Amino acid sequence: MLKFDKIVQVSFLGGQLVYLVTLFLFLALLFSIWKDNRSVLNPILLISFLIMSYFSVGSFFYERGFGVAHDILFGLGFIILPLIVFFSGIFLIYNGIILLKKEGKSKANLLSLLAGFGVVGFFLLIYIRIQYYQFFINSKLLNVLIVSISWSFLIFGVAFLGFMLYSMLYLFMPKGKQYDFIIIHGAGLLGGERVSPLLEKRILKAIEAYNVLDDKNVKLIVSGGQGPDEKISEAKAMADYIKNNTPLSNEAVLLEDKSTTTYENLLFAKALGETLKPHPRFLFVTNDYHVFRTSMFAKKIKMAGDGLGCKTASYYIPSAFIREFIAGVVYLKWLFVALYVPLVLLLLYSYFG
């Protein structure tokens, strides 16, 4: 009886700890967003809070004796969720084929297709591992390979989910009403000199934002250099489009025509703005999938302001988000390297422990 009481006590304390950790993560997330909603810490806190919330709800059901609800909850987590991930892989393959048909072959357009094959391939690997259990159990090298792949799938899958969810959440966060400059990020030109439909959406979104601002002294900064296959700079093409298709005066538009990357768009536009006004605030306009990563760069260069996204063709979004995530992983590469330390320690222990 004493042993059973100890088990109940440990279970109770474990449940309380789960609740406390969940509450701490929630408060930390709110504080971090309040302090700076562009922080790279926010997606980490968000996905950690959601995971702990799941276990908190499960613990609550268990403690209250709601056995059916508890079983359903964990069934969703350990059966339905893997099925969703598997069919997401199928969807990515389908989406990748559609993207290639509409946009043509390129390395960037292959991303969703390759990601889909990676997801489906992982599940196939796990199926083979279960079917040929005895064969794998006798091979340490194969087991190390399976564990390493599974660990990679887990950390990159969870990280991608956190990045995607917070990127979506960031789009709906309240924006300021006072800005000094609106930056329009450049994109590739049609025929080397004409604004593409994607770039046109950015321009129209920026003008929409300009029209609702009370201060009409706000300047638009069209930002983008001239690529090797372009006849004019992206900034010049955007300025020409605004001049020919909108009522805005030439004085309202400033050109930044030296940048070649998103980071340089922000860096050079910030420098241009600071020559005209001390401590300016910026609103940078790009596509919705691109806003949060752009905001990370803005934070890095200590730019005051917010990001605003315009809509993107639905078939293009999965590949675009994957590309943004890869860029985010590169940006935080040492964090992901650190996440492999527990795996290395576990493998060393399994061999020599």
Is 32:42 a contact under the CB 8 Å cutoff?
Answer: yes
Question: Phi and psi (nearest 5°) for 200?
Answer: -60, -40
Nearest to 283 by CA among 180, 214, 207, 201: 180
Is 126:151 a contact under the CB 8 Å cutoff?
Answer: no
Q: Give the pLDDT of the chain (353 residues) as one tens digit per residue.
A: 444 344 444 444 456 888 999 999 999 999 999 998 889 899 999 999 999 999 999 888 888 888 888 888 888 888 888 999 999 999 999 999 998 888 777 777 889 999 999 999 999 999 998 888 877 777 777 888 888 999 999 999 999 999 999 999 998 888 777 899 999 998 888 888 888 888 899 999 999 999 888 777 899 999 999 888 888 999 999 999 999 998 888 888 999 989 988 899 999 999 999 999 999 999 999 988 889 989 989 999 999 989 999 888 888 889 988 988 998 898 888 889 999 988 888 877 776 65
Q: Which H or E run includes 347?
A: helix 341-352
Across 293-314, b (16+ Cβ under 10 Å) vs e yields bbbbbbeeeebebbbbbbebee
Domains in the chain: boundaries = 2-172+336-352, 181-315
* Assessment of whether the complete model's pTM goes beyond 0.75: yes
Q: Hey, which CATH number is domain 181-315, 3.30.70.20, 1.20.140.10, 3.20.20.70, 3.40.50.620? A: 3.40.50.620
